[in-house]
Amino acid sequence: MPSILSDDDKDTVKRHVPKATNKIQAVAVARLYVAYPNRSRWTYTGLQGAVVLANDLVGNTYWLKMVDVSPTNRGVIWDQEIYDIWSYNQDRTYFHSFELEECLAGLSFVDEKEARQFKKKMDDREKNASKATRHTPFGGHNHHAHHKHGLLGGLFGSHRRSSPLIPPDSPNIPPPPASSFSLPHARMPSSGSINGRKRPSEFATLEAFDPNWRENYGEELRANGLTDDFIKENQEFMVD
């Protein structure tokens, strides 16, 4: 496992992706982006952690799983089954993209060496698969399955894309995370003032829709892994 993870972090990954039912092929620390709702712009989902490429020895398929290794210890916060027509692209050394049912998604890796190793393991996954998995078309028993977990399934619902989204040479690819990458802690901004004047709200659209949105929806949003930054950038879509 990558050196950016502590021994405790590695134990957390092994606990949530257990050896008894999974063969871990690669682990790397990354952030998850989606090209949604704006197809021409990457949006940070607020999800980051240890991304695991694992051969599921029970379902005989492959999965991407993101494990929360922050003190909140939320377990697997996102996962995606690798189906039989999976396309995984290296847009930059540190940034890889792939299609979900609703949109294009991307992983921005902290360490380029880890990213290269992750891409190699992804490309070699069929060769490294268990015997039972090699004899099962990728996608397991659920061909063309696009499994969604938590944030993506709850936020996107049944929306489906109808055309290609972002080309591999897009200038909109986000910069790599800083080397001093830290795992997130969900927080709610405090209200305050500047020189005696109240700060303008960063959530004006949501507050216009429901002044008590934090009380009514805040816990649910946090439970689904939505950070304040993600909510702020997508509040118009959420109101719609």
Question: Residues 55-96: pLDDT tens digits?
Answer: 999 999 999 999 999 888 899 999 999 987 788 999 999 999
Q: Which residues contact 213 (CB under 8 A, 6 or more apart)?
A: 203, 206, 207
Task: Pull the structure tokens for residue 19.
Answer: 């050896």
Domain that holds residue 87: 7-156
Q: pLDDT for 133-164, tens place per residue?
A: 888 765 444 443 444 444 444 444 333 333 33
Looking at residue 98, what is its pLDDT? 92
Q: How many domains does the chain have?
A: 2
Mean pLDDT, rounded, of the chain: 75
In a domain, 179, yes or no: no
Looking at residue 30, what is its pLDDT? 94
Task: Pull the structure tokens for residue 199.
Answer: 């700060």
Beta strands in the chain (DSSP E): 22-34, 43-56, 61-68, 75-82, 88-90, 95-99, 104-109, 193-194, 197-198
Question: Which of the listed residues 156, 183, 211 is the one where a domain comes to its end?
Answer: 156
Looking at residue 195, what is its pLDDT? 44
Helix, strand or coil for residue 229?
helix
* % pLDDT > 70, the chain: 71
Say which residue, 47 or 154, is predicted with more confidence: 47
Same domain, 148 and 214: no
